[in-house]
Amino acid sequence: MKAQQRKKIFLDGEFVDEADAKVSVFDHGLLYGDGVFEGIRVYGGRVFRLEEHLERLFDSAKAIRLSIPLSLDDLVKTVLECCRQNSLWDGYIRLVVTRGKGDLGLNPASCPKPTLFIIADAIRLYPASVYERGLRLHTAAVRRVSSDALEPAVKSLNYLNNILAKMEAAVSGADESLLLNEQGYVAECTGDNVFAFKHGELVTPPVSAGVLPGITRREILRLAREEGVDAVERNMTRYDLFVADEVFLTGTAAEIVPVVEIDGRTVGTGKPGALTQRLLLRFRALTRTTGPLIYSTGKPAPMETAQQQ
């Protein structure tokens, strides 16, 4: 007999077992990628930058004229309760709002009610060795979707552009792909923002280059300035990355991960740089002291289990 954890999913107003968390095949999020989402981290019983993530979710939804069926305050409470339902202490929250069930066809007017679900679970991070040795990047042939076609600030369910680039990285033998925009400027990687450091200046592409304004990205710009580093946003080319002293990526799941090679060119010394390591330490310290507490005291009780043959 083996004990198996039973995950609880928040789905349209109630908590249900994972096996019962079902979305209609007519849901426009599934059929057309019509919806928005947020990925949020939990550290030591705290939800990091929860309100900032939810504010971005509401902004994304407003931009595509999608109604979220809970207020921001109620959504904060629901996210925390979802963590408690799953006895989550360290992990990841995926919050998704879709246009909802409708007819076949693109018209969103056929969807009378949005679908909202929240998953709170463990997360598979890069192994510790990646932070010690760094990532190898490959520039993808596929370009970032134009800002004129899809606003990059909208964190939508349409990730095929990123997936195609991720596949290119695997085929090339790299760890991750770098995406350029239509003008040939650096945009972002498949799920992370890009930073380069040289001559005391830290640079990251502006949102207008086709990048998501990441929550971690914003924190790193702030932390770098506190370190006395001139941190700026401006257009960058691959050359800027090739000749940088340090390059790193930032994201909710990745945190801050160093890059040591791009298209066969060694970045800096070929090892994670000093600024990258300092910012990672400061960021990790920040995550342990920031955000609403999930539990009033101590760690959560063991999760309910079911017996399985």
Q: So which residues are the catalytic ones?
A: 155
Q: Tokens representing 59?
A: 């902004």
DSSP string, the chain: -EEEE--EEEETTEEEEGGG----TTBHHHHH--EEEEEEEEETTEETTHHHHHHHHHHHHHHTT---SS-HHHHHHHHHHHHHHTT-SSEEEEEEEE--B--SSS-GGG--S-EEEEEEE---PPPHHHHHH-EEEEE-SSPPPPTTTS-TTS-BS--HHHHHHHHHHHHHT-SEEEEE-TTS-EEEESSSEEEEEETTEEEE--GGGT----HHHHHHHHHHHHTT-EEEE----HHHHHT-SEEEEEETTTEEEEEEEETTEEPTTSS--HHHHHHHHHHHHHHTT-S-BSSSSSSPPPPPEEEE-
